[in-house]
Amino acid sequence: MSLRPILLVEDNPDDEKLTLRALAKNNIQNEVVVARDGVQALDYLFGGGHAPPAIVLLDLKLPKVDGIEVLRQMRTSGPTKLTPVVILTSSKEDQDLIAGYELGANSYIRKPVDFLQFTEAVRQLGLYWLILNEPPPR
């Protein structure tokens, strides 16, 4: 069975590269689709006839359409309603945490500055969401 892809929604190219590296270092084999703003993310999720991704790694501060709006639209639409969404962001402001969880985010991770900690965080979330967790049936 082929692995479902990971959708990484991230506008910062550095963060994109670092995240891809952290995923690679943790031997996560899934294809990674990168959306660089909210519109690209919504296009991939709703426009292209793609199967829902295994997981969405979602930044909040994005050009055009922000992460909270992407999450809101995912949760109101059938195919992506149950897709695991991990908010991966710089902010740990209460308002973002509350908005994220209220809209049904599955996890909320604040990207650590220390790259080793970041790699560890990606390892744990990959282990949990891609291996341990049983995804909803297709």
Partner 1 sequence: MTEGLFQTLVNTSGAIVCAKDANGRYVFANSQFIKDFNVTGKPICGATDFDLFPRDIAERLRQHDEMALDGPGTSAQEEVIRVGEDERSYLFNRVPLPKDCSDARLGVIAFEITQRIKAEDDLLVSRSFFEGILKIAADAIISIDEAQRIILFNQGAERIFGYTAEEAIGQPLDMLLPMGARPTHRHQIAQFGRTEVSARQMGERGGIAGRRKDGTVFPAEASISRMRLRGRTTFTAILRDVSEARRAEDAIKSLNADLKHRATQLENANRELEAFSYSVSHDLRAPLRSIDGFSQMLMEDFSADLPDEAQDSLHRIRAASQRMAQLIDDILALSRVTRASIERREVDLSAMVASAAEDLHQEDPQRKVVFSIPEGIRADADPHLMQVVLNNLLGNSWKYTSKHDTARIEFGRFVDARGRTAYFVRDDGAGFDMAYANKLFGAFQRLHAMHEYSGSGIGLATVQRIVHKHGGEIWAEGAVEQGATFYFTLK
By C-beta, is 82 or 99 nearer to partner 1? 99
CA distance 29 to 50: 18
Minimum CB–partner distance for residue 12 and partner 1 (Å): 6
**61 belongs to the binding site for partner 1 (CB under 8 A):** yes
Exactly one of 40, 80, 83, 89 binds partner 1 (CB under 8 A); that residue is: 89
Give the CA distances from residue 10 to residues 67, 69, 101, in Å, rounded to whole numbers and listed in that order. Answer: 9, 14, 19
Minimum CB–partner distance for residue 21 and partner 1 (Å): 7
Given a contact cutoff of 8 angstroms between Cβ atoms, the answer to whether 49 and 22 are in contact is no
CA distance 71 to 61: 12
Selected range binding partner 1 among 29-37, 98-106, 115-123, 127-135, rule: CB under 8 A? 115-123
Interacting residues with partner 1 between 11 and 40 (CB under 8 A): 12, 14-15, 18, 21
Cα dihedral sign, 33-63-22-56: negative
Exactly one of 26, 30, 91, 133 binds partner 1 (CB under 8 A); that residue is: 91
